[in-house]
Structure 1
């Protein structure tokens, strides 16, 4: 009986710890946004929240949005690789063990490109959970060719609803 109770307690503890850890890794403040992301994404690659990101020279950001979105603003230092026009030649100079964080507006396009990079042998791939929208929602800086900006391309009005901060620039 003692062993059964102990196993049950350990199982409950493990499940609770897993749930808390998972929730801590992917927090967004808007519950509807959280629900949409959990439905939209397959969670097939490692995810990282904006608050977990420690930008430094050892992290490479890859922007998987359309070129016109990238031109409006991007995470500082990001390399544009696109989505529909993605070609693995754009990442051929990046070492396969380098830490890479991919992003798009909300995380769907970047998740798909991250899957392709994993298939190509990249080993330290992360999808920015909630995308550049959540990056900006959390108060992180985006830039354009002139420096820091509050402008962001919301993709379209449907997706732009998840952007709480910044100036929407179509």
Structure 2
């Protein structure tokens, strides 16, 4: 039996008083000994949490018992150690940052692309009238993507709406969107429908579920994940490595964050260059005075910012007065 589980999930469901919910939910997660990162918004939840199998089972059962979250599709990975160091649960304006905040225009609770389970996606993806569209960011699809997928030159998902005109040439095709767990596709497919695309689908459960239920067939490379694993294997049928080391060009599946915290760029780097560059993307970053110690993983706990003691003293003085 696995020592720990990591759960990936999202849910578009209206949450009243989201800020209070986030505070209460953080206490609940900590009471179970979970670590992870959860975003709460008025439109729903987006989370990845990690803990013992028992704690994760309690967490899933508790959310499923709430009518708002009864339909959550948890993706469960067995891991040797927790995938996070701390537990965060924060209230934000969206559960995935898209800039599409008008529920009268984009509302995944009312309209999204047709959901395809992994086997349906596998059966459809190579048809002549189909375009497979990756809606993730550059650093994600550079590490791994579906064979022959259309990728977009975007740094963040909030850049996706600006790409609609570029995608207009595919309006007469069936569009099959995909992302890591499915959450980005909910808004991406809704926007495509709003912009006049007629035949839009999405991979339900994303790449992670596809790997578990369809063997990851034809997904080339590894899948970027937003925890300290940084990437996971997906394809057990016909795996290949497509990513290359930024520094030397050698084929490598390893994704890291630059050791310079002021850069923190996601990029692929082989172990040899990782050692030579101290986990940095460039010579400039390698010489940066705040460079973090590279331990070979390329994952770093967020570095606290220095306290502004003068400002703090000023506030304390004002409070005392």
TM-score category of the 2 structures, normalised to the smaller one: 0.5 to 0.7
Alignment-derived partner of residue 19 in structure 1: none
Farther-moved stretch of structure 1 (63-72 vs 53-62): 53-62
Q: Give the counterpart of 1:84 among 158, 178, 189.
A: 158
Cα deviation, residue 97, structure 1: 3.5
Q: Offset of 1:92 from its aligned partner?
A: 1.9
Q: Aligned residue for 1:109?
A: 184
Map 1:2-151; keep pairs closer than 5 Å: 32=60, 35-37=71-73, 42=109, 44-45=111-112, 46-53=114-121, 54=123, 55-56=125-126, 57-81=128-152, 82=154, 83-86=157-160, 87-94=163-170, 96-138=171-213, 139-143=215-219, 148-149=220-221, 151=222
Contact 2:177–2:202 (CA under 8 A) maintained in structure 1: yes
Superposition RMSD in Å: 3.3
> Where has structure 1 moved over 4 Å in runs of 4 or more?
157-160, 163-170
SS in 1 for 2:181: coil
Aligned length, in residue pairs: 131
Question: Which ranges in structure 2 are unaligned for 5 or more consecutive residues?
Answer: 1-56, 61-69, 75-94, 96-107, 236-252, 257-321
> TM (normalized to structure 2)?
0.35
Structure with greater Cα Rg: 2
Q: Point out the structure with the larger helix share.
A: 1
Whether the aligned pair in 1 keeps the contact of 2:133 and 2:177 (CA below 8 Å) is yes
Structure 1 length as normaliser, TM-score?
0.63
